[in-house]
C-alpha cells in the first residue's frame, strides 16, 4: 500500500532520515516560517506511525510537553520506507541495551491482574509473544491487540518487533518496566 504524503511531510521525513539521531526537530531553515503547518504535518506523521515519540534531549528537539515530560519525534522504519530511504539504526532506537539509564521518568506499571499487566508479562518473556499469544491471553481482537501495543509505545515502553519464519514476535525492552 502506497502512503500519500504532501510536500511538507516529505521534506520533514527526508530531513529526519538524514540526521544521525533521526530527529524531526529542529525544523530545517527552509521551514522557519511554516512552524504551525509543520507541527500539523508532524502530528499526522505520528498518527500514521511514520514518526515516534521519544524523550527530547534539548529544547530545540521539543515537539510537545506532557507535564514535566519533554517529548520529541524521530523517524520510524515505516517513515524511512515511505520515502524509500534505507532502514538504519538510529541513536534513539538503536540498541537493545542503552549505554546509560534514561533520565526521563519510566512508564508506570499497570495494576496487577489487568489485561495490560498480562500484555507486559507476555512481552517480557525471553521468547517474547506472537500476536496470536496475546489475543489468546487477553481475548482481544487483532486490531485491538495492535492498538494496545501502540498504546504501550505511547506510554514510553520500547516494543521490539522481530520476524521469525514470517511471524512477528514482540518483545518489550527490559529497561522500561
CATH value at residue 44: 1.10.10
- What CATH number is attached to the domain comprising 127? 1.10.10.10
Q: Based on the domain organization, do 69 and 128 belong to the same domain?
A: no
Average pLDDT along the chain: 82
Report the interhelical angle of 115-124 vs 131-138 (nearest 10°). 150
Residue 45 lies in a domain: yes
With respect to residue 145, please indicate whether it lies within any of the assigned structural domains: yes
Range of the domain at 135: 115-176
Judged on CB neighbours under 10 Å (0-12, 13-18, 19+), 97 is exposed
Could you tell me if 12 and 75 lie in one domain?
A: yes
Which of 82, 106, 138 is the C-terminal boundary of a domain? 82
Q: Is residue 91 part of a domain?
A: no
In a domain, 96, yes or no: no
Q: Which tens digit of pLDDT belongs to each residue from 96-126?
A: 444 444 444 455 667 778 888 899 999 999 9
User: Pick from 40, 58, 82: which residue ends a domain?
Assistant: 82
User: Are residue 16 and residue 77 in the same domain, yes or no?
Assistant: yes
Region 150-158: mean pLDDT is 84
Q: What is the pLDDT of residues 36-75, one digit of tens each?
A: 898 999 999 999 999 999 998 888 888 888 888 889 899 9
Total domains present in the chain: 2
pLDDT > 50? residue 29: yes
Is position 170 within any domain?
yes
Whether residue 108 is contained in a domain is answered as no
With respect to residue 95, please indicate whether it lies within any of the assigned structural domains: no
Distance between CA 112 and CA 110 in Å, rounded?
6
Same domain, 24 and 73: yes
Residue 97 forms part of a structural domain? no
Amino acid at each position: 500500500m502506497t502512503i500519500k504524503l504532501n510536500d511538507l511531510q516529505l521534506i520533514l521525513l527526508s530531513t529526519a532520515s538524514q540526521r544521525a539521531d533521526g530527529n524531526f526537530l529542529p525544523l530545517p531553515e527552509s521551514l522557519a516560517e511554516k512552524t504551525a503547518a509543520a507541527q500539523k504535518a508532524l502530528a499526522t506523521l505520528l498518527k500514521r506511525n511514520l514518526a515516534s515519540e521519544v524523550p527530547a534531549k534539548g529544547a530545540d528537539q521539543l515537539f510537545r510537553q506532557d507535564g514535566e515530560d519533554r517529548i520529541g519525534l524521530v523517524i520510524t522504519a515505516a517513515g524511512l520506507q515511505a520515502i524509500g530511504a534505507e532502514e538504519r539504526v538510529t541513536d534513539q532506537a538503536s540498541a537493545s541495551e542503552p549505554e546509560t539509564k534514561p533520565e526521563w521518568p519510566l512508564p508506570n506499571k499497570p495494576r496487577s491482574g489487568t489485561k495490560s499487566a498480562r500484555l507486559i508479562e507476555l512481552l517480557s518473556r525471553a521468547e517474547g509473544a506472537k500476536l496470536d499469544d496475546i489475543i489468546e491471553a487477553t481475548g482481544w481482537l487483532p486490531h485491538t491487540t495492535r492498538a494496545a501495543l501502540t498504546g504501550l509505545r505511547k506510554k514510553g515502553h520500547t516494543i521490539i518487533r522481530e520476524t521469525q519464519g514470517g511471524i512477528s514476535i514482540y518483545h518489550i525492552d527490559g529497561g522500561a518496566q
